[in-house]
Structure 1
């Protein structure tokens, strides 16, 4: 199978037509099994899957161990052999039971699952700290002083960049502020506006607003929001491009490459090109794009971008962030002058921006590190870095292009399930009684793995969310009337979606009945 194959043709070749899916919502398991066997590429066994009992009982306070239930992934220090044996047994049990003892986890867009290697890597660094103390900076498989050198190249591959263009540190919002400190240079009589999508994640908006205020600008004038279409909830990309071409007061365009609410995937390459043609800096928030869709930040000439690692990069809640700066903004020494150079006074500096060869000489004269490292401030938290490395090593076993192919197949299968549910409900309640609509664009090139559905009745939406979670299906409720559902290519299966179809259609029918 080629990586550019139409996922619809692939599904149809195994009998998964829209009609078959719509007619068998309560019994798609055999078809799903055939698709999972044919697809082949899945790294589910590399992750700790939430036990069904933990979700259905609402037992969210006891990590790892559920009474009378197998251990999903032991976390107690000193139990490494037990953890290894348990995880190995889990893999065998999962193969036999077809994952029936596991919850259906379709919320990787909010928090990715824990890689099985995470505990091993973190425990090793805790043990090293206990045994050798400060000498851990220069010893072991992952010495702490150059720890970012293990993660940065892996992350660079995922975002389509050169290793020296990526740096793992801080969190997304902090890194976004750092990038604005460098690239947002408003001019009183010239370019000063920040263009963003109106439904931007709140932290992004607060960053934009505070950056405007730091420059003594009125946010109501400096921030230019792109409203979504009131009918579709997606942004008109052509209107954005026309705005970049005609409004000479725009300094920066900063978008979520993949919109967190609607699931709309923006054409980053095209937006960047038009921005540059018209003197605008192009920055991107990659929170919902990184690890989800293929990115080519270097080739697309993006100025800078920031990302988190707790969603599709599976590095844990509050995990370390990362950023990208294109190499054309680099210059040896980072002094003023020269094409594409970033003046030192336009960056916030810290000792980790100093070249590692002389960093510990503690001089007050900056010898800048190479590449994006020169934008860093302090040494990254080692335990957080190990969480990121554990996940990035899974990505390193495949490619974003192959994961994208799998993702498109899974998401199209989910799309057809949702369309089948809508058809089923219209037959029961009439065509005019549409219970929900799919907000995410239908065109596969304009979406990632997540689908958002918006209910006509917000109370019904909330009740459906609660009801299916009691049956072991974990998705995301967005007040007041939306659900977000994501089959993650690394660990979700067609079998997961078959179970979702059965439970979602049954609970919706029961709750929507007059």
Structure 2
């Protein structure tokens, strides 16, 4: 598309947008009596208008049915998590049986590593992206220590080449091949939180399996953002949070994926609980764990119904919007327009004030652009905040902006770029 740096053009794009009416289904933060420009969905998605209704329905069931709410009512709690899993599965490219909604992200990462990090004297190493979100780093460090290994020996981090910000797929695959004799697990993010790089999950999975390792993916910044095909790509396991692009509220419930090929693998360890017991015999309270079929067999604790309700409120919007593929078309256009406008700001300033470190290739990114501020970064970010532009600051000099297709407009993007220009000129 041939973009234009005018408000009229942005308005025209919004008029042509088939998803524009979904903006009304979210509560936009206010600034100086009008909608703020919210470009921080990669950190916390906005509240669906329907969220209060969904919560109220469950509170009503609790009030009117009490404990019988587990079995009675329009949506009995005993199977409520299944409804949410059925809505989440298409977003991550999974079969419904391969998805369970439970716990929080890092808890799920630990639970899955209990099953899929099985170090031996010869194969004990884990490969992960350098600069992964700290929670993943901490989880991996603690897991290898739990098994008696030293992180410096057992964890291999892959960093970008000197002078670059993103990883080359070639370097990832080469590192896997070079360490295949000692490799137990490849654990990668779907999208790097800092740069916004979308990794080639399919290629990484193939290489990991060829090396005789399991492959797991942390989809925290990818689920609900980019099209993912976990089943078709043969990923062993994955997990994600729901509070970023999937708008399930601060600290929202997490999801897991376990490929169906592992359902009957009795050699896999797992930490178990009553909620993961086979449903048809769960209330017999028998000794000896007999897992539910599918990813549900990895469940441990009773489903938190109110958190599930918040997630379902958002997932119902996703379904009505046509799913992740439809959202990705608009998300790509929004992000490309923002990229065009930022480059125009640099041209106006006569220098590269904002260096975009997110990949230019659309297939290698989602709805996020990360900018390195060449000067006055924190002052520029504060100026944006003071003028109702809500983004995300990362030390020492990075601003992350994420135009989310469900609730951001092209005018949002245009006005954000105008404020970037004003801030750069101060």
Q: TM above 0.5, one fold? A: yes
Structure 1 counterpart of 2:270: 347
Given candidates 244, 247, 267, the residue that maps to 2:176 is 244
Secondary structure (helix, strand or coil) at the match of 1:146 reads helix
Structure 2 counterpart of 1:37: 15
- 1:420-470 Cα shifts (integer Å, max 9, x gaps): 1111111xxxx4xx323111111111111100001223xx11111111111
- 1:381-436 Cα shifts (integer Å, max 9, x gaps): 1000000000110111112111111111110000001101111111xxxx4xx323
Given candidates 377, 394, 400, the residue that maps to 2:300 is 377
Given candidates 88, 103, 112, the residue that maps to 2:36 is 103
- 1:367 aligns to 2:290 (yes or no): yes
User: After alignment, is 288-297 or 435-444 more displaced?
Assistant: 435-444
Structure 1 counterpart of 2:400: 484
- 1:43-98 Cα shifts (integer Å, max 9, x gaps): 11111111223xxxxxxxxxxxxxxx6xxxxxxxxxxxxxxxxxxxxxxxxxxxxx
CA–CA separation in structure 1 for the residues paired with 2:290 and 2:208: 32
Q: How far apart are 1:482 and its partner, in Å?
A: 0.2
CA–CA separation in structure 1 for the residues paired with 2:263 and 2:373: 48
- 1:469 aligns to 2:397 (yes or no): no
- 1:392 aligns to 2:371 (yes or no): no
User: After alignment, is 223-232 or 248-257 more displaced?
Assistant: 223-232
Q: How far apart are 1:367 and its partner, in Å?
A: 2.8
Secondary structure (helix, strand or coil) at the match of 1:396 reads helix
Equivalence map 1:11-160=2 (5 Å): 11-12=1-2, 16=3, 20-21=4-5, 28-42=6-20, 43-53=22-32, 101-160=34-93
Q: How far apart are 1:138 and its partner, in Å?
A: 1.4
Q: How far apart are 1:481 and its partner, in Å?
A: 0.4
- Is this contact kept in 2: 1:182–1:342, CA < 8 A? no
Gaps of 5+ in 1: 1-10, 22-27, 54-68, 70-100, 332-340
Q: How far apart are 1:477 and its partner, in Å?
A: 0.6
Q: How far apart are 1:380 and its partner, in Å?
A: 1.5
Q: How far apart are 1:41 and its partner, in Å?
A: 1.8
CA–CA separation in structure 1 for the residues paired with 2:72 and 2:30: 37
CA–CA separation in structure 1 for the residues paired with 2:249 and 2:332: 25
Secondary structure (helix, strand or coil) at the match of 1:298 reads coil
Q: How far apart are 1:330 and its partner, in Å?
A: 0.9
CA–CA separation in structure 2 for the residues paired with 1:141 and 1:49: 30
- 1:404 aligns to 2:337 (yes or no): no
Structure 1 counterpart of 2:410: 494
CA–CA separation in structure 1 for the residues paired with 2:363 and 2:134: 26
CA–CA separation in structure 1 for the residues paired with 2:373 and 2:183: 36
Q: How far apart are 1:133 and its partner, in Å?
A: 1.2
- 1:457-508 Cα shifts (integer Å, max 9, x gaps): 3xx1111111111111101010110000010011111011111122221122
Report which of the two structures shows the higher radius of gyration computed on alpha carbons: 1
- 1:198 aligns to 2:130 (yes or no): yes
Q: How far apart are 1:39 and its partner, in Å?
A: 2.4
CA–CA separation in structure 2 for the residues paired with 1:268 and 1:326: 15
Structure 2 counterpart of 1:96: none
Given candidates 398, 403, 417, the residue that maps to 2:341 is 417
Secondary structure (helix, strand or coil) at the match of 1:255 reads strand
CA–CA separation in structure 1 for the residues paired with 2:126 and 2:58: 42
Secondary structure (helix, strand or coil) at the match of 2:279 reads coil
Secondary structure (helix, strand or coil) at the match of 1:135 reads helix
Aligned length: 423
CA–CA separation in structure 1 for the residues paired with 2:23 and 2:163: 37
CA–CA separation in structure 2 for the residues paired with 1:152 and 1:288: 19
Q: How far apart are 1:343 and its partner, in Å?
A: 2.6
Q: How far apart are 1:246 and its partner, in Å?
A: 2.3
CA–CA separation in structure 1 for the residues paired with 2:77 and 2:288: 24
Q: Where has structure 1 moved over 3 Å in runs of 4 or more? A: none
CA–CA separation in structure 2 for the residues paired with 1:483 and 1:285: 22
- Is this contact kept in 2: 1:368–1:374, CA < 8 A? yes
Rate the CA distance shift 1:119–1:309 in 2: closer, same or farther, 3 A.
same
Q: How far apart are 1:34 and its partner, in Å?
A: 0.4
User: After alignment, is 470-479 or 353-362 more displaced?
Assistant: 353-362
- Is this contact kept in 2: 1:112–1:311, CA < 8 A? yes
- Is this contact kept in 2: 1:284–1:305, CA < 8 A? yes
Q: How far apart are 1:365 and its partner, in Å?
A: 3.0
Secondary structure (helix, strand or coil) at the match of 2:308 reads helix
- Is this contact kept in 1: 2:342–2:354, CA < 8 A? no
